[in-house]
Structure 1
């Protein structure tokens, strides 16, 4: 192994880490690996890459952030209804632990916030509900959807419902104390100029290796240098069914009602989920602030055309909250959304 100095973009410091001759972290040196798992193609490719590098499935935790909050609380607002069930089915097939966390009330509560605090983060530990935060933060008002921007203070959905939630989980679950943990995420340089500048390997912002609890946490963007073609190739090697949104024609899986959605995606959303679309449109009118800087979501949909593939069984599966389709596909083919409109992030 070669001892290399890796600059940490998160801390603006230099972290020393053992890197193998192949340029990957010394995966065997970690007690556990946590993959923050959106269920999209890039996070899935990252997980499969770990398996091909020889990491036992039993060592990997797939961790999903429920952006709409507690899935038991009822109908969500932003995400694909099937995402949670699909992620659970993948984890069962791969033999991996599956965990979730969320901001109480999800994106909807945060965007409706008016002179209140940001809600606590919730996760479960051995069947016991754990809440952290939400009691001493500043009062604040949003009353608008996240906006299209690179800054996370403006595009706050990523920070409030994913990044900060993940940090709270890592800092507050005792299992990470006195342990070496590797966090794996699926950002790729090809996605945007901003993501191209991300460090491939760095100390995670939840790291506390020098503190009281010796919480050593590194962060590896496992497919940062990969092309989209490489992502689809590894999924094809495992013959895994991808998220239904790709089958409908979407080129990227984030929230169904992602603020970066194209006019065709808004047209498709309106066609396959008219009730949820109506809720989004009503919030725009209530706030007096649109998601797009120039158009309402209704106007965006009017400018677009629904994806031709967004019909039939895949619509049913995407809009369901259960998963009963095969996870392994013998006659695997690229989905309709492969190499299509990604529409974000910046």
Structure 2
């Protein structure tokens, strides 16, 4: 698809694509949201052209009651529209809201344990299963996996710094990129010095059995590009967008703008009330600058928010 990609000073590669045919599995992380819809549509076009559509596995990380109703079912619908395999992964135990109550704290921008505990780690269990499937089928050597996500630079300063394509290196990865990074980090350890950030190979999903790369096909896309792709794809959009929400994240994401949270409270009064009760019970505010009780109060006294222009701010 031709897009009007943003003119940004972005790291990573430009218009060229990774060699999709060089991967044994292509893992498409789909949330049911607009960015993952655009990503999936874009990925399918390239995979079809490369003759590797059958290597795509769609995965949805289920957050339980924290998600908007129908999200998991919509993600399954998106995968089915292209005839793709669909898998659901979730953290063992309670869902995200249960975990907040159990931990006695909400996640925040500096400690996004919700992402690691409920998305990254469960997805890695699927990666392990895919590797085992290949080995059971007689695959020799390391299994190559491309982990694909609908992350965009426009969403935040942090995401703008990400590479559109990168290797998920690790301390146990034997590739030519990770080995010298590990050796350099070991020099610091030998001197009993702290390894500087970015020096080591990282804590990615690669290891002696698998080589994992990450690709963000819509990294440089604008929101206009995304919606154009969604329209062309013919995929159904979640009702939350039609209600005025700018993103299909958790109903109450700690990174969302106040207006987005107020609108969500107006649309989801009972889940908001539950979070307010948890907030009071654990003695930890939803956000340092904004409590769930304050969000509900604002939602109750304000007219219905028709639409939220931005997610942050």
- 1:82 and 2:70 are equivalent in the alignment: yes
Q: Which residue of 1 aligns with 2:294?
A: 299
Which structure has the higher relative contact order (CA within 8 Å, separation 6+)? Answer: 2
Q: How many Å separate the matches in 2 of 1:262 and 1:249?
A: 13
The number of residues matched between the two structures is: 257
Change (3 A) 1:244 1:35: same
TM-score normalized with structure 1 length: 0.67
| Structure with more strand by fraction | 1
Q: How many Å separate the matches in 1 of 2:81 and 2:289?
A: 44
Q: Which residue of 2 aligns with 1:341?
A: 310
| Local SS of the residue matching 1:266 | helix
| Local SS of the residue matching 1:299 | helix
Q: Which residue of 2 aligns with 1:144?
A: 105
- 1:204 and 2:168 are equivalent in the alignment: yes
Q: Which runs of 5+ in 2 are unaligned?
A: 1-12, 136-141, 176-205
Contact conserved, 2:153 with 2:159, CA < 8 A, in 1?
Answer: yes
TM-score normalized with structure 2 length: 0.74
Identify the match of residue 157 of structure 1 among 108, 114, 125: 114
Q: How many Å separate the matches in 1 of 2:165 and 2:38?
A: 17
Identify the match of residue 62 of structure 1 among 50, 58, 65: 58
Q: How many Å separate the matches in 2 of 1:280 and 1:83?
A: 20
Q: Which residue of 1 aligns with 2:158?
A: 194
| Local SS of the residue matching 1:281 | helix
| Local SS of the residue matching 1:291 | coil
Deviation at 1:190, TM superposition (A): 1.1
Q: Which runs of 5+ in 1 are unaligned?
A: 1-18, 69-75, 114-141, 310-335
Deviation at 1:193, TM superposition (A): 1.1
Q: Which residue of 1 aligns with 2:243?
A: 248
Q: How many Å separate the matches in 1 of 2:67 and 2:174?
A: 35
> Residue by residue, what CA displacement relative to the aligned partner does 1:4-53 show, whole Å, maximum 9, x if unpaired?
xxxxxxxxxxxxxxx8x941101122222101111111111111111222
Deviates more, 1:163-172 or 1:246-255: 163-172
Deviation at 1:100, TM superposition (A): 1.0
Deviation at 1:208, TM superposition (A): 4.8
Q: How many Å separate the matches in 1 of 2:229 and 2:68?
A: 24
Contact conserved, 1:32 with 1:182, CA < 8 A, in 2?
Answer: yes
| Structure with more helix by fraction | 2
Q: Which residue of 1 aligns with 2:269?
A: 274
Deviation at 1:221, TM superposition (A): 1.2
1:321-340 matched pairs, under 5 angstroms: 340=309
Q: How many Å separate the matches in 2 of 1:307 and 1:23?
A: 45
Q: Which residue of 2 aligns with 1:51?
A: 44
